[in-house]
Structure 1
């Protein structure tokens, strides 16, 4: 057990591997814990995590120290996201962009490399969500590899300690490259409008004004590409891993597709793609009896909240038929993930494609085994598999 009274260990010391024993220790013995590497208060109990996420009057969204990207959103910007990523707006593109891109990637996966073998993270989970976002916003297939490189560079920065300037420089390099390409796409679309989400975004107003070029780039490249594709990528990888490693799950899903939605929700609870997120205290406050000073940096442990026995019975058991309890993997309150509907659909489509296209799918035990990697954005990787060709 961690000696939480004078602990010097950090969440950063729990990777690779599953951090749940460490989180349980904190949740039971020191639910508000100053993490020496994160340099902020680490919140682990479900009710506390929920309150910090939900109550915007007490706690605001604030980037962690050293964060170079603007995480502050106006009320109008939140509304913009919800207009852009809802069921009504995205549904027309399911059959024109999203499903065709998934089929293209699956065709490429089956055709590439050794027959009957694949690496699901590299060949499917990593490119699929980023490619969809790029295509929805008017980019071409030739642009998509750079989108994935940028998204991965930025994810590496999020997962690095705040003083890792090399990770920051790499993310900034790829951001500049993708920003410039998006400027070209915006200019071309102004000259020749197309039916896509970029065209819709060009009609949106904030504070009574149409979005500027810089606003369009912020929303598409820096916000939605990162938040919208990174979580979906890692959710696909985690769901595939659990489907192939938990006894009987693959067979149950193969024989009864109606179980897929419940399986995916349990996967999101059990292996959230984002393990922590950040907030700050608006005033002097208190959480679970621990004094919190105004402007203190706070980190909500989504992974810990999703395993809190006060909310979830037998929380360390993966239960497709789980009843009761709501995971916080997509946050709650004013910053509930606006792309949750899109992400859930991409996740469902990807799992269905694995069941449909890769018969007798199983992990390849001759290859490197999967590990739960990184710190903030987490997933099982690599995912070497075999299937009957």
Structure 2
């Protein structure tokens, strides 16, 4: 009786781990249900590994032996994590576990070899479909594409003249404001990225706001001459903590002692950009406020530990939240959103004028691979 119950629990646990594995691989997402499934998959894997110890003592079934190896690799992954250096281990764990399930399903059939072949074919089709859902759809959804035509006038850029951030072209995915603290918690990133945090702490991005005296005096003068609203044109790329929280509606002289005025461009500013709408620059991006943003930056040690463990064993949701494909595949286009600017009537009360333009200068140079001079450069390695 006990043996049958153990066998039933083992089969149910195996089915649960298999089904959750398919879902976790094909549909990574930074949501509470998904993260709960990550925990569930890990717990079920531990339970299955424990149940298999008894089985391995009494059986020589290839299916259970291979499945046990897959479970053991899963436990190893809990210690190594599934980040890029250990991605091979993740796929080894998946491959061996799948092989174990196929062997178990084929065992005891009248024609085990034919069954094994049919199941293997089905697994290959399912794997290709899961990979396509995971990778191709994701990459295609986050590409930087220029519109067929630019806006007719500055009044049509971003959210338009009635938008909360105009004349900056910046937008938020939900159409509303974002709490200022979201842009001021770069120290939370330091736990896992200490080297990058150290580089950022002395970078130009860190000192892009009113902790830069040249910029501060420029904005103070601009607001004295043309008022507060036109200066939002600058804030989209210099003062996210002030602009997106609504604080930039106040003259800068009244904000200068607030920590938001000295936040600069924190880690999440660039890494939360969900879309770059064109390479026309001028802050032409859409910012996304992640649903679980407060988990990573929580001061609660238990919450931090849970968050860090989940990122450790399954970093894909975190990666998809803060590292959209265009950051790597279209890096220059991504940077163009703030490294190319223009002034227009709502800023200077005059006409369209080109401001500084790093992006077009880079594109026309030989090193970009697009300019005529690129012909004389050596092939890229």
Interval containing the TM-score (normalised by the shorter chain): under 0.3
Structure with higher strand content? 1
Task: Compute the TM-score of the two structures, normalised by the length of structure 2.
Answer: 0.27
Instruction: Between the two structures, name the one with larger relative contact order (CA 8 Å, sep ≥ 6).
Output: 1
The structure with the largest alpha-carbon Rg is 2
Structure with higher helix content? 2
